[in-house]
Chains A and B, each alone.
Chain A
Amino acid sequence: MIRLAQFFTAFSVLLSWIGPGFALSEVEMQQMLRTVDDRQRNGGDYKALCYIETKEKGKSDVVYDAVVYRRDIDDKLMILFLRPKTEQGKGYLRIDKNLWMYDPTVGKWERRTERERIGGTDSRRADFDESRLAEEYTPTYGGAEKLGKFGVHKIMLTAKDGVDVAFPVVHLWLDQTSGNVLKRQEFALSGRLMRTAYYPKWTKLFSESKNAEVWYPQEIRIYDEVEKNNSTVVLIREVDLRSLDANMFTKAWLESKSR
């Protein structure tokens, strides 16, 4: 499967050499999306130390030091805030279609939606979760472009029926050489541009459970296109692919960390 993915990536790279005006077929685009998804997915567990910094005009910056846990095999995700002190112990837990938020200062769980701004920043749950582009969206080709010095494919994505995503329309700029996502624009159903995100640095790490490399964006820069003065930077500082405790993705575990 992995070899097949690598073959298709190489094939798409070859196509990009043939000429920038060459349009990708739907099958090729699907394959590119699957490659993006597969690269970021780990067969086992995933743990990442993240730093989130949000700027808003007229306000002091919001900063978080957080840890993200993922168990890709059953689509579970957990975000736990470590710093600053007033935010310690707060967390998000995604199980199936439920996104929960826990606040130890009030000792309560609340249901949140896909549109939740994580910790009040411009980031969404999907920014920390595994990539599910092929599963959630249908692609159409937008053309070959230049992004800085990189040749990129622009692919327009529309959410599939019945899939709950934060943004129903997404435009992606994929590096023609590596296949990585370099830029992403997200739109509301009305067509209004909501966010622009950049992924200027990708890091790969060998995973024993996957027996292949796992890719992650080391840096995500998100610009709010509605509140033009707002922006968020997410740094994924360190990733740990060792197995996590079996009972970690539960309310009980998250609660126990701050009790």
Chain B
Amino acid sequence: MFSVFFAEILIKIAIRNLFSAKLKSLILGSFVFAGTILVVVGNSLLDSIDDSMSRSIVDSFSGHIQVYSDSAKDELSLFGGMIMGREDIGKIDDFAGIRNELLKIDNVLSVIPMGIDTALVQKANTIDVELAELRDAVRTNNKPKIQAKSRHIRRIVGLLEGELKNLDNVARTKDRQEDEEHIRRAASAVFWSDFSQDPLAALEFLENKIAPLSLESQDIFLRYIGTNIEAFKATFPLFEVVKGNAVPNGRRGFMFNDFIYETQIKHKVAVRIDTIKKARDEENRMLATDEELQQLVRQNVAQFKEVAFQLDDEETAMVRQHLKDKLNLGTDEQEFSIILQQFLEMNDDNFSIRERFFYEYITPHLALYAIPIGGTLTITGLTRAGYVRNVNVPVYGTFQFKSLEKSALSGGQNLMDMMTFRDLYGFGTADRVEENAEIKKEFGVVEVARENADEALFGGEDAAIVSDSATTGFDEFKNVDLQGAQRYTQALLERIYTSDEINTGVALNAAIMLKDPTRLDETVAVINRVSQEKNLGIQAVTWRAASGLVGQFITLVRAVLYVAIFIIFVVALVIINNSMVMATLERVREIGTMRAIGAQRGFVLWMLLVETAAISLFFGGVGAMAGSGLVLTLGQVGIPAGADILVFLFSGPRLYPFLAPIHLVIAFFVLLGVSVASTFYPALIAMRVTPLQAMQEEE
């Protein structure tokens, strides 16, 4: 029925009509054009981001699959979940056994133990740090160090004295007067000349009376992954050491994520200068016009003490001389603190020179990082058993995930060896549990429920609340060895653990790398089935599910894109539909005439369909080509990651989108659907036109 002849006629009519109403065709076409570009480019970008983000997550620390306890109360969320505090994801008691079972599954390449938790690190204030070092020197009778530290602390006391004098005299409270007296005493020559007579008493005075006047300590919460660091290095291709070294095989140790090290552990004044430099160099922001950068400069000027306190007399003299020689800042009469504040008052003209000066002449005298590489980090954690646990762990270096160094999201995790993690997380060993049980038994405290505590404690007939005691005293140290805990921890730090020892014991979760990542969902199902069959007590989830909100991000963006595309095409559909209805009404005579000379209703329907299809295919085709061209061009030049979050999503500083045939197929079907839907109603009107109506139309 539908011959080539008819097709030729339909196409000719369609083309004639389209050219006879050029403006209308152009308006319709532009909607189709824009919609097609959005479909092609949007889908390409999203798939590219999905692909790169999966690299960011899978190759940094999640692996393709994560497993954790199937009795977990909360869902595993590698980047931190919605819960304030700690998620409770249960634990895998026998990691070694689970690992062996998982390695038997054919697509599993490797299994890495993990435990993610957050701990507290206290960055003490400068004077407390200096006093602790002086105390250490006194303990070891290190005379040169005692002298050097004394000089330094005396200088800090001098700065504090100056600061206290500059305070408003109106607010001279009793406490303030006492503080002034203490400062005067600590700054006096007599105090320091007498220091050697009773250094411990002098230290107690400085620690309790002087140091609180300069409290600038800061608590830092560090999120860390306890893991087998050797296996971690070998498994995750994005891992690379930035400063120092990786933790040696089998040793206890800690590695900072370089992002955290540079933003939280580094000296605050240096961090602010780095931030300004980055904003100027990479984002073309100017100090003169940028309120945020000006605020950083103001903070540096106000907190000049963070630099001044760390310089001893000799270093102060050196920096003072350099400031005068190199920057022509300050006179011999001026106080150093004033000159330092002048130096920190940076603007666009002097920033580059002063930034270089800061790193060349000042930072060598500062503790640039609160915890240096090679130093010891004291981490405080609350164990699962409830005890506050402090551990000392050597810091071997910093690491980053390749191309993601600027991403705060990937920069949030530090690395710790598995043994320290287990200590800090506090799974009680059998002997500890037994000891606690013995102590409890010794005292036999009877539990009283809170609901009826009033009555239970004070309601009984025998409730006597006062008794007499006639103790003669006691010796609390009888049969007690207080050195035990210290000996135990020192021995731990010296141990080298075998891979078997690291794998044996508790882990909270584990990362699995697959041989063939395309079989991800299938392998998750296999692991879950094996866990049920063998009663392993674990559940497997994909990297996307384990990434929590981060993993869902792309799904969210895709939903937003589809809603946008839907709206555009609904608008297009309405406009095309209206245009076609108008066109049909204008063409009643023509259609009626056609019907009179033998055109069937089907012919009329096809005529309109072909017209719409021609517009859709032409402009859609041009749109698809333009979209493809745009994607291919972007694929060559890349899209820069303007914000830190984009670095993570793009798996690097630029996204190189790719074009997949599926994107064009989707665009084709979307267009087809819109064309057919928008022609349906006008076609219905047109099909009802009869030759009689056409003849009744007025000229």
A residues sitting closer than 8 Å to B (CB atoms) are: 47, 49, 51, 53-56, 59-63, 65, 67, 80, 82-90, 95-98, 103-111, 119-121, 147-150, 175, 178, 180, 182-183, 196, 198-206, 218, 221, 223, 228, 231, 233, 235, 238-240, 242, 250-252, 257-259
- Cα(A246)–Cα(B632), bound, Å: 82
Question: What's the least CB distance linking A113 to chain B, in Å?
Answer: 10
Which residues of A sit under 8 angstroms from B23, Cβ to Cβ? none
From A111, A120, A147, A201, contact of B388 by CB (8 A): A120
Which residues of A sit under 8 angstroms from B448, Cβ to Cβ? 221
Does the CB pair A84–B486 fall under 8 Å? no
Question: What's the least CB distance linking B128 to chain A, in Å?
Answer: 7
Q: List 21 A-B contacts (CB under 8 A).
A: A51-B439, A51-B445, A53-B440, A53-B443, A61-B436, A82-B476, A84-B439, A88-B482, A90-B485, A103-B390, A104-B485, A105-B390, A106-B390, A147-B458, A149-B458, A202-B465, A203-B468, A206-B470, A238-B474, A252-B200, A257-B482
Does the CB pair A106–B392 fall under 8 Å? yes
Does the CB pair A104–B486 fall under 8 Å? yes
- Cα(A53)–Cα(B209), bound, Å: 34
Decide yes or no: A60 and B457 within 8 Å by CB, A89-B483, A98-B212, A105-B489 being known contacts.
no
Does the CB pair A51–B443 fall under 8 Å? yes
B453 close to chain A: CB less than 8 A: yes
Interface 0/1 of B443-486, CB less than 8 Å to A: 10101101001110111110101111111011011001111111
Which residues of A sit under 8 angstroms from B457, Cβ to Cβ? 148, 198, 200, 221
Specify the chain B residue showing the minimal Cβ separation from A60. B385
Which residues of B sit under 8 angstroms from A257, Cβ to Cβ? 477, 482
Decide yes or no: A105 and B485 within 8 Å by CB, A84-B436, A251-B204 being known contacts.
yes
Decide yes or no: A97 and B212 within 8 Å by CB, A82-B482, A104-B482 being known contacts.
yes
B387 close to chain A: CB less than 8 A: yes
Which residues of A sit under 8 angstroms from B447, Cβ to Cβ? 55
- Cα(A240)–Cα(B486), bound, Å: 28
Does the CB pair A196–B485 fall under 8 Å? no
Specify the chain B residue showing the minimal Cβ separation from A85. B484
Find residues 481-528 in chain B having any chain A CB closer than 8 Å to their own CB: 481-486, 488-489
Decide yes or no: A96 and B209 within 8 Å by CB, A89-B485, A148-B458, A239-B469 being known contacts.
yes
Which residues of B sit under 8 angstroms from A62, Cβ to Cβ? 385-387, 436
Does the CB pair A95–B204 fall under 8 Å? yes
B208 close to chain A: CB less than 8 A: yes
From B132, B135, B207, B485, contact of A87 by CB (8 A): B485
B432 close to chain A: CB less than 8 A: yes
Find residues 8-65 in chain B having any chain A CB closer than 8 Å to their own CB: none
- Cα(A228)–Cα(B463), bound, Å: 26
Does the CB pair B485–A200 fall under 8 Å? no
Interface 0/1 of B412-451, CB less than 8 Å to A: 0000000000000000100011011001100101011010
Specify the chain A residue showing the minimal Cβ separation from B173. A162
Which residues of A sit under 8 angstroms from B201, Cβ to Cβ? 250
Does the CB pair B465–A201 fall under 8 Å? yes
Q: Which 5 pairs, one residue from A and one from B, show the smallest C-beta to C-beta distance?
A: A148-B458, A148-B459, A105-B489, A200-B457, A62-B386
Does the CB pair B455–A148 fall under 8 Å? yes
- Cα(A106)–Cα(B392), bound, Å: 6
B124 close to chain A: CB less than 8 A: yes
Does the CB pair B135–A251 fall under 8 Å? yes
- Cα(A235)–Cα(B444), bound, Å: 11
Which residues of A sit under 8 angstroms from B439, Cβ to Cβ? 51, 63, 65, 83-84
Specify the chain B residue showing the minimal Cβ separation from A213. B468
Which residues of A sit under 8 angstroms from B565, Cβ to Cβ? none
Which residues of B sit under 8 angstroms from A56, Cβ to Cβ? 386
Which residues of B sit under 8 angstroms from A80, Cβ to Cβ? 476, 482
Find residues 386-425 in chain B having any chain A CB closer than 8 Å to their own CB: 386-388, 390-392
* Interface-central residue, B208, B386, B440, by most chain A CB under 10 Å: B386
Decide yes or no: A178 and B466 within 8 Å by CB, A98-B207, A148-B458 being known contacts.
yes
Does the CB pair B209–A88 fall under 8 Å? no
Which residues of A sit under 8 angstroms from B299, Cβ to Cβ? none
Specify the chain A residue showing the minimal Cβ separation from B470. A205
B122 close to chain A: CB less than 8 A: yes
B324 close to chain A: CB less than 8 A: no
Does the CB pair A221–B453 fall under 8 Å? yes
Does the CB pair A233–B445 fall under 8 Å? yes
B342 close to chain A: CB less than 8 A: no
Decide yes or no: A203 and B467 within 8 Å by CB, A47-B476, A86-B387 being known contacts.
yes
Which residues of A sit under 8 angstroms from B480, Cβ to Cβ? 82-83, 88
Which residues of A sit under 8 angstroms from B469, Cβ to Cβ? 203-205, 238-239
Specify the chain B residue showing the minimal Cβ separation from A148. B458
B384 close to chain A: CB less than 8 A: yes
B583 close to chain A: CB less than 8 A: no
- Cα(A149)–Cα(B455), bound, Å: 8
B318 close to chain A: CB less than 8 A: no
* Interface-central residue, B378, B435, B466, by most chain A CB under 10 Å: B466
Which residues of B sit under 8 angstroms from A109, Cβ to Cβ? 132
Which residues of B sit under 8 angstroms from A204, Cβ to Cβ? 466-469
Does the CB pair B473–A258 fall under 8 Å? no
- Cα(A67)–Cα(B445), bound, Å: 18
Does the CB pair A67–B476 fall under 8 Å? yes
Question: What's the least CB distance linking B289 to chain A, in Å?
Answer: 41
- Cα(A204)–Cα(B468), bound, Å: 5
Decide yes or no: A105 and B392 within 8 Å by CB, A62-B386, A182-B458 being known contacts.
yes
Specify the chain B residue showing the minimal Cβ separation from A178. B466
Does the CB pair B443–A202 fall under 8 Å? no
4 other A-B residue contacts (CB within 8 Å) besides A60-B428, A98-B207, A111-B128: A86-B432, A95-B208, A106-B391, A240-B471
- Cα(A250)–Cα(B385), bound, Å: 31
Which residues of B sit under 8 angstroms from A238, Cβ to Cβ? 469, 471, 474
Question: What's the least CB distance linking B195 to chain A, in Å?
Answer: 15
Does the CB pair B474–A240 fall under 8 Å? yes
Which residues of A sit under 8 angstroms from B204, Cβ to Cβ? 95, 250-252
Decide yes or no: A54 and B476 within 8 Å by CB, A88-B484, A105-B391, A111-B217 being known contacts.
no
Which residues of B sit under 8 angstroms from A90, Cβ to Cβ? 485
- Cα(A250)–Cα(B384), bound, Å: 32
Question: What's the least CB distance linking A215 to chain B, in Å?
Answer: 8
* Interface-central residue, B387, B461, B477, by most chain A CB under 10 Å: B387
* Interface-central residue, A110, A180, A228, by most chain B CB under 10 Å: A110
Does the CB pair B443–A235 fall under 8 Å? yes
Specify the chain B residue showing the minimal Cβ separation from A199. B465
Question: What's the least CB distance linking B208 to chain A, in Å?
Answer: 5
Question: What's the least CB distance linking B625 to chain A, in Å?
Answer: 62
Which residues of B sit under 8 angstroms from A88, Cβ to Cβ? 480-485
Decide yes or no: A200 and B458 within 8 Å by CB, A59-B385, A178-B465, A205-B470 being known contacts.
yes
Decide yes or no: A87 and B459 within 8 Å by CB, A96-B208, A108-B132, A201-B465 being known contacts.
no
Does the CB pair B476–A49 fall under 8 Å? yes
- Cα(A238)–Cα(B480), bound, Å: 17
Which residues of B sit under 8 angstroms from A175, Cβ to Cβ? 465
B594 close to chain A: CB less than 8 A: no
B382 close to chain A: CB less than 8 A: yes
Does the CB pair A87–B387 fall under 8 Å? yes
- Cα(A60)–Cα(B383), bound, Å: 11
- Cα(A233)–Cα(B468), bound, Å: 21
Question: What's the least CB distance linking B189 to chain A, in Å?
Answer: 25
Question: What's the least CB distance linking A198 to chain B, in Å?
Answer: 5
Question: What's the least CB distance linking B132 to chain A, in Å?
Answer: 7
Which residues of B sit under 8 angstroms from A259, Cβ to Cβ? 483, 486
Which residues of B sit under 8 angstroms from A119, Cβ to Cβ? 387-388
Which residues of B sit under 8 angstroms from A106, Cβ to Cβ? 378, 390-392, 489
Question: What's the least CB distance linking B407 to chain A, in Å?
Answer: 32
Specify the chain A residue showing the minimal Cβ separation from B378. A106
Question: What's the least CB distance linking B690 to chain A, in Å?
Answer: 80
Which residues of A sit under 8 angstroms from B135, Cβ to Cβ? 251
Which residues of A sit under 8 angstroms from B380, Cβ to Cβ? 110
- Cα(A204)–Cα(B469), bound, Å: 6
Which residues of A sit under 8 angstroms from B477, Cβ to Cβ? 82, 257
